[in-house]
Amino acid sequence: MTVETIPVRHPVPAARFLGLAPVGVVARRLWRGALLWGGVFALMVWALVSQFAKEYPTAADRAQLVATMGADAGSQAIFGPAHHLDTVAGYTAYHVVGILGLVVAVWGLLAATRLLRGEEQAGRWELLLAGQTTRRRAAAGAIAGLGIGLLVLWTVTAAAAVAIGRGADPPFSARASLFMAIAAVAATAMFMAVGALCSQLAATRRHAAALAAGLFGAAYLLRAVAASGTSLRWLRWASPLGWVDELRPLTDSRPLALLPILGTTVVLATLAVVLAGRRDLGASLLPTSDTAAPRTRLLASPLGLAWRLGRGTALGWLAGLGAGGLILGLSTKTMQDVWANQSGGVFARLGGASGGATYLGLVFLIITLLVGMAAAGQVAATREEEAEGYLDHLLARPVARLSWLAGRLAVAVAVLAGAGVLTGLLTWVGATSTGADVRLTTVLAAGVNVIPAGIFVLGIGTLLHGLAPRLATPVAYGLVAWSFLVEIVGAALGASRWLLDTSLLHHLARAPAAPVRWDSAAILVAIGLVAAVIGAIAFARRDLKGA
Amino acid sequence: METATAIRVEGLSKRFGDLEALAPLDLQVEAGEVLGYLGPNGAGKTTTIRLLLGLLRPTSGRAEIFGLDAQRDTVAAHQRLAYVAGETSLWPSLTGMETLHLLGRVQGRVDGPYRGELIERFKLDPSKKVRSYSKGNRQKLGLIAGLVSRADLLLLDEPTSGLDPLMEREFRRCVAEAKAAGQTVFLSSHILSEVEALCDRVAILRGGHLVEVGTLADLRHLSALQVEATFTQPPPDLSVVPGVSDIEVDGNRVRLRVHGPVEPLLERLTAVGVTQLLSREPSLEELFLAQYGAEPTTRTQEVTPSDR
């Protein structure tokens, strides 16, 4: 099974080129994703530039935009600071760098851990290192490969920004557009380096990705807290994502803020290379034990196994979401006060919801996104059991396919439901502990409201798992990413009803800012269940398929 | 309901797109029999076993395990069999002991003392995590997990890949024990000495087609006998003797092959002065190479069914 994926397509005759093999291997596996996300950046720039004048034609409209979104401390906490929102430049930079830039950074860290630790774990590094190269050189090569992917991403973004920016009103200078492209990929560069470093620290791809994602989450929360109150603004310098915000492209570019970004990227990448040279192939720097006393309590059935295997990831998601809810909840009171002292459009626009509830609506939008990611992760883990051949050992024994799948889905649903309830509860704890005026039932309902999104993703993923198993994981993650982009960007641009309807998030009320729409939540759950049942039936009838 | 047939396969076939991985196959394995299932890489051995296990869905035909339909009564059929894969990939985060415990509980029956004995005999450290096992050790783990069930039917798919010769010998002992205990063994392999040493019957697969099936004696009977004769004078012309081919003359010595009955050759030889006569039965390896040697390599691509 590994033979077909030997990454060197053409055997390289001369030994001196073998050191370059990792560069090509990594770059070749990265360029499609880089092109895709470069395309998303391009589309986004085009949409923002072309729609801004249409959506906000008059000075009054733009003033209104600044008064609402620009002064909305809640969205600045969640999506980063906005500057000069009344100009097409500020509006574009805010969405491209502050929002999409972070989504792409998550892709970057996942890609880095997959291509470094994932490939090593799968034994494919052995083939590379059998050539005349050292571990250190191979790691440097792989990181250079990541750099090439990043360059592809930047080139596409920059080309689009320059071409489209010329037609903006007023036009962006070529230099400003190039700088915006740098700002757009800056977070990706840093978190690719974080991913490369975590790949040296952890022994498995999953651990490395979780570690890198945890660091990303911490940086995100720091940025959110920094934006939540004037007394804490200095904290933005503590978060790498805060540095990216400080670049302020298109409006008042600050190239100096590139220094910490560049420095961090170089230091982390160098550290990764040095550490790679100091460890054995397949080993990790964080202590892992190769032996363990048997713990067999759960290992009596496929269901027990599913829980045993998924427990670490599940607890990680619960802890991460719970902590995120608690920390973001803590700033609810500040948001409430900021709004209370403002006059203007916010209250009219949101139909009288309190500032705190509006802010929490955005918090739960992010939580819905993350729960969707957790659901996609469950789909990926289920597929992995089959792709890696582990499932053969169960299904060759007296285990029915449907009962195995049902066990996995039961664990997944339990994790998603637990995440929703726990996050709702802890967000309320955070909010009330600082004196914000929110009711437990309202926030808890907002937490429960995210569960249907997870079940929907799980259901669609299971459908694909039955019908086209190799597409299950990318489609599940793609559905979540697409929904988020359409919800954030599409809504800002007044996109067509039809386009907005393709976003899963659009069908859920933005609780607690708006009352939970239980009917559409129930429909999402029902569609998810039906999709899962069809997928399960298809799975029971098809061939098992390897990677 | 007891039946004396362990595996009954009727017209079982599998296509992956344009590729015919297994042409319609008819095969029967009696209970208590050890069948060697031979063929080069990509011949369809693994496909057959995965069809028997219900992991793949057949394009046509059906298979029964002890009278139970392999596709419909999968769970009941699996209660009577144990499977060992050729490339054992197990959950990396579990230890060897945890894996054995899990697979034993899922299987439903485990011979506990035998498990301890096999861990000793295969020199496996079960406290280590699967992640840190070598390929050979993972293979041992898969073997032990299969053998300790003492299932009525053992489906073994190249079970000794990655094992060293000592462990390979231990495996042969285990199969001999299983046979003595009345278990049926379906042994897919391309290690001919292994099959020759263990199997009652051999089935040979080529390009998805079953080309031979029979006891080793049957197969030898069908194939050529190698004869070497030394004469007191230059040898006579033997090419007219029925069944004789591949004649090589070297002074007073002759090397040749004979198919079918040997009487005509013996009559001809006794008529002249023969000082020495050597004959040798073909080894399984020669039988195997005779089957495949002449074959032009049309199937250049190796196909494992799980890739499709």
Query: Cβ–Cβ of A544/B75 closer than 8 Å?
Result: no
Query: Cβ–Cβ of B304/A546 closer than 8 Å?
Result: yes
Largest distance between two CA atoms of chain B: 74
Task: Please give the class, per CATH, of domain B224-281.
Answer: alpha beta
Enclosing H/E stretch for A321: helix A302-330
Between CA B154 and CA B161 the distance in angstroms is 17
Question: Which sequence spans correspond to the domains of chain B?
Answer: 5-219, 224-281
At B121-135, the pLDDT tens digits run 999 999 999 988 988
State the nearest Cα–Cα gap between B159 and chain A, in angstroms.
Answer: 14
Q: Which residue of A has its CA nearest to B51?
A: A543
Between CA B249 and CA B229 the distance in angstroms is 10
Enumerate the β-bridge partners of residue A131. Answer: none
Between CA B238 and CA B295 the distance in angstroms is 28
Of the candidates B72, B38, B33, B294, which has an alpha carbon nearest to the alpha carbon of residue B178?
B33
Q: Does A4 touch chain B (CB under 8 A)?
A: yes
Q: What ipTM, to 2 d.p.?
A: 0.82
CA A501 to chain centre: 21
State the nearest Cα–Cα gap between B296 and chain A, in angstroms.
Answer: 23
Between CA B139 and CA B86 the distance in angstroms is 8
Query: Cβ–Cβ of A294/B127 closer than 8 Å?
Result: yes
Of B55, B95, B108, the CB nearest to A292: B95
State the nearest Cα–Cα gap between B106 and chain A, in angstroms.
Answer: 6
Of the candidates A319, A528, A535, A497, which has an alpha carbon nearest to the alpha carbon of residue A413?
A528
Q: Decide if A497 contacts A481 (C-beta within 8 A).
A: no
CA atoms within 13 A on the CB side of B28: 6
Of the candidates A107, A114, A188, which has an alpha carbon nearest to the alpha carbon of residue A151?
A188
Q: Does A6 touch chain B (CB under 8 A)?
A: no
CA A457 to chain centre: 15
Between CA A157 and CA A151 the distance in angstroms is 10
Q: Does A280 touch chain B (CB under 8 A)?
A: no
Query: Cβ–Cβ of B101/A299 closer than 8 Å?
Result: yes
Query: Cβ–Cβ of B90/A392 closer than 8 Å?
Result: no
Query: Cβ–Cβ of A389/B145 closer than 8 Å?
Result: no
Q: Decide if A454 contacts A375 (C-beta within 8 A).
A: yes
State the nearest Cα–Cα gap between B72 and chain A, in angstroms.
Answer: 10
Q: Using CA of residue A58, residue A59, residue A65, residue A67, what is the dihedral sign?
A: negative
pLDDT tens for each residue of chain A, 547 residues long: 334 444 444 544 444 555 677 888 889 889 888 998 998 899 889 888 887 887 788 888 888 778 766 666 777 788 888 888 888 999 899 888 988 899 899 999 999 999 999 888 877 777 777 666 788 888 999 999 999 999 999 999 999 999 999 988 889 999 999 999 999 999 999 999 999 999 999 988 888 999 999 999 999 999 888 877 667 788 888 999 999 999 999 988 899 999 999 999 999 999 999 999 888 877 888 877 788 888 888 999 999 999 999 998 899 999 999 998 998 888 788 777 766 665 444 433 444 456 778 888 888 998 999 999 999 999 999 999 999 999 999 999 999 999 999 999 999 999 999 999 999 999 999 999 888 888 899 999 999 999 999 999 999 999 999 999 999 999 999 999 889 888 877 766 666 788 888 889 888 888 888 899 999 999 999 999 999 999 999 999 999 998 7
Of the candidates B239, B236, B305, which has an alpha carbon nearest to the alpha carbon of residue B269?
B236
Cβ neighbours for B162, distance < 8 A, ≥ 6 positions apart = B134, B135, B136, B138, B139
Strand ranges of the sheet holding B81-84, from the earlier edge strand across to the other edge: B81-84, B153-157, B184-189, B34-38, B201-206, B209-215
**Helix pair A355-387, A302-330: axis angle to 10 deg:** 160
Residue A190 pLDDT: 97
Between CA A103 and CA A106 the distance in angstroms is 5
Q: Decide if A27 contacts A148 (C-beta within 8 A).
A: yes
Q: DSSP class of residue A6? A: -
Query: Cβ–Cβ of B53/A204 closer than 8 Å?
Result: no
Of the candidates B47, B65, B54, B57, which has an alpha carbon nearest to the alpha carbon of residue B9?
B65
Of A305, A388, A544, the CB nearest to B89: A388
Q: Using CA of residue A236, residue A239, residue A243, residue A245, what is the dihedral sign?
A: negative
Architecture of domain B5-219: 3-Layer(aba) Sandwich (3.40)
For an interface test with B, the pick among A392, A402, A408, A545 (most B C-beta atoms closer than 10 Å) comes out as: A392
Query: Cβ–Cβ of B95/A294 closer than 8 Å?
Result: yes
Give the three-class secondary structure for A311: helix
Give the C-alpha distances (Å, rounded to integers) separating A389 from A385, A396, A510, B86, B89.
Answer: 6, 11, 41, 11, 6
**Which structure tokens are listed for A268?**
């982390």
pTM > 0.80: yes or no = yes
Q: Decide if B25 contacts B12 (C-beta within 8 A).
A: yes
Between CA B66 and CA B2 the distance in angstroms is 7
